[in-house]
Structure 1
Amino acid sequence: MASAIVVTGATGPIGRQVVAGLRDRGAEVRAVTRQADAAPATAGIRFVSAQAPFVDLLDGARAALINVTALGAGDPTADPEARLTELVAAARTHGVGHLVLLSSASAADPESPIGAGYRPVEERLAQFDGAVTILRSVLFMSNTAHWWSAAIQQSRTASAPYADVAVAPIDDRDVASVITAALLTEPAAVAGTHLLTGPALLTPRELVATIAEILGADIAFEDLPPDVVRGRLVGAGLPARAVDGLLRSFEYARLEPVAPSAAVQRFTGRRAGTYARWVADHLALFR
């Protein structure tokens, strides 16, 4: 009887938390990673190479987490569409009953360059004849450390575009907990598309104010035009597509405000963590 749960992207920021969560709950985990040889031996976890054919990776599996990076998204030498077709065919061959996709809330935005990478995957999975759970996450709270930690540490300053556009960032630990719960739950009970958000709407200005309050320091905030931010980030070497995707996510939030969802509580039985709690738990990033 199929028993393994396959986790692609198993050593990434979310994947490793999912692997740990499944292990702690007694599941048999097959962790797919590009660095299988370097992964530490762990009881209950079998690390396998992401280069292996999906027909081998999914043999004996009952459910699988799909991470788009594991399909080669962002790799100019890869063919994500072919890899996804291979995955779905292998799932059918082995009778895998449940596929879970970590997607992005940007998939709802037809003009988002980030969403453009997720929509074809969602559409292809819709043709799978087993249960499919699509988890569309908003931006992670941890992204704010990438945006502001260096400037806050060095000069107690922070800047951002769309300073007063509210978003509902989510703790990546909650994302991992939802995925873990989805993989362990009866597929029919969790099939469908779910929006994952944090518990509250917060603007960039309010996010920085939260950091300042918990840090116990004054942080000067500068509201910058989006084109200035784009020039700075692209000039610093960030991919233009990624920068455009980030800016578009705020523009879309301005046009189509998101409402915080209760998905985290539905899947995990507890409320989503607040941004204040996330900052308190990661305060060293801003000191």
Structure 2
Amino acid sequence: MGKILVTGATGNVGSHVVAQLASAGIDVRAFARRPERVRPGVEAVQGDLTAPETLEPALKDVESVFLLWPGLSTGNAAEVVSAIAGHARRVVYLSAFVPGGSGGHYGEIEGLIRRSGLGWTFLQPGGFAANTLGWADQVRQGVVRWPFGQASRALIHEKDIAAVAVHVLTSAGHNGAAYAITGPDELTQAEQVRVIGEVVGREVRWEEQPPEEARERLLAAWGDEAFVDSALKAWESFVAGPERATDTVRRLLGRPALSFRQWVEDHAEDFR
């Protein structure tokens, strides 16, 4: 098996991809803005996908690439995909499942990859369990004030996303596949808060926040009006049309996906 390049190698998902590949004895190269944060013993290359000239040296002798796009727009993705196609044979792209839409920039990058000549597999996770870390300060205060408490999602553990990526990168039969991956539990946001409170040993209640108020807060935090409106629209959609759990993790890995409670147990100190 040839060398695998992992982009976003120090992030929530990429760091687990690197660790799992290294633990399996696979030849892996980590591409990161801060290579000093890469797991010890793993080859690391400093670079940034927004500066494609830094990618070329990292692609030397690489057979497969795990691609995690760092932005909220396509930016220079065409140049990045072209560079990968000039060196590697296949790419596993961490995309996203976008309900009721064209997929936004995720769909656009999928299109670039489809037209590149590369062998490809798309991982399309639903909600990330790690996104609930945004409630950590409120959890410590005992009240989470947020919109759409009845929005239901099957949040996925980042370790499962990484495990699926590693399986796809190291086994045959996945070219041309788009895998929708989720966790096993369909929980409303209010129920997610309850589970967090149970695990950390603190009573935490949900308080419904008007969407207009949340929009102002998110605009101040994120700055991207289109992205904020898209996020609010998506959360609202999960009230009437819950995100359904898939069995993709079980089918690919031969074991159940990790539960949301397991994720909270793994991250309990982040909420304390």
**What TM-score, normalized to structure 1?**
0.84
Give the equivalent residue in structure 1 for 2:93.
101
Give the equivalent residue in structure 1 for 2:83.
86
Distance 1:128 1:75 in 2: 19
- Secondary structure of the equivalent of 2:149? coil
- Contact 1:27-1:44 within 8 A present in 2 as well: no
Distance 2:39 2:254 in 1: 31
Gaps spanning 5+ residues in structure 2: where?
A: none
Deviation string, structure 1 residues 40-90 (Cα, Å, up to 9, x no partner):
684353434345455543332221111111xxx3489x52233323333x1
- Contact 1:6-1:61 within 8 A present in 2 as well: yes
- Contact 1:39-1:47 within 8 A present in 2 as well: no
Give the equivalent residue in structure 1 for 2:43.
45
Match for 1:65: what amino acid?
F
Match for 2:9: what amino acid?
A
Question: What RMSD, in angstroms, separates the aligned Cα atoms of the two structures?
Answer: 2.4
Deviation string, structure 1 residues 215-274 (Cα, Å, up to 9, x no partner):
333222111222221112223565434432321221333454332111112222221111
Distance 2:174 2:123 in 1: 14
Give the equivalent residue in structure 2 for 1:203.
188
Distance 2:171 2:13 in 1: 19
In the alignment of these two chains, the number of paired residues is: 269
Give the equivalent residue in structure 2 for 1:150.
137
- Contact 2:97-2:180 within 8 A present in 1 as well: yes
Alignment partner for residue 223 of structure 1, among 208, 219, 240? 208
Distance 1:159 1:238, change over 3 A: farther
Distance 1:199 1:123, change over 3 A: same
Q: How does 1:6-45 map to 2 (within 5 A)?
A: 6-36=5-35, 38-39=36-37, 42-45=40-43
Alignment partner for residue 174 of structure 1, among 134, 138, 160? 160
Distance 1:53 1:68 in 2: 15
Distance 1:75 1:101, change over 3 A: closer
Give the equivalent residue in structure 2 for 1:110.
101
Distance 1:205 1:40, change over 3 A: closer
- Contact 1:8-1:32 within 8 A present in 2 as well: yes
Identity of aligned residues (%): 26
Distance 1:20 1:263, change over 3 A: same
- Secondary structure of the equivalent of 1:104? coil
Distance 1:26 1:127, change over 3 A: same
Distance 1:104 1:43 in 2: 31
**What TM-score, normalized to structure 2?**
0.88
Q: Which moved more, 1:50-59 or 1:115-124?
A: 50-59
Distance 1:55 1:47 in 2: 11
Alignment partner for residue 147 of structure 2, among 161, 172, 180? 161
Deviation string, structure 1 residues 122-178 (Cα, Å, up to 9, x no partner):
1111124342110011121111111x110121x211122111121111111111111
Distance 1:190 1:265, change over 3 A: farther
- Secondary structure of the equivalent of 1:159? strand
- Contact 2:9-2:38 within 8 A present in 1 as well: no
Match for 1:82: what amino acid?
E
Q: How does 1:205-284 map to 2 (within 5 A)?
A: 205-236=190-221, 238-254=223-239, 256-284=241-269
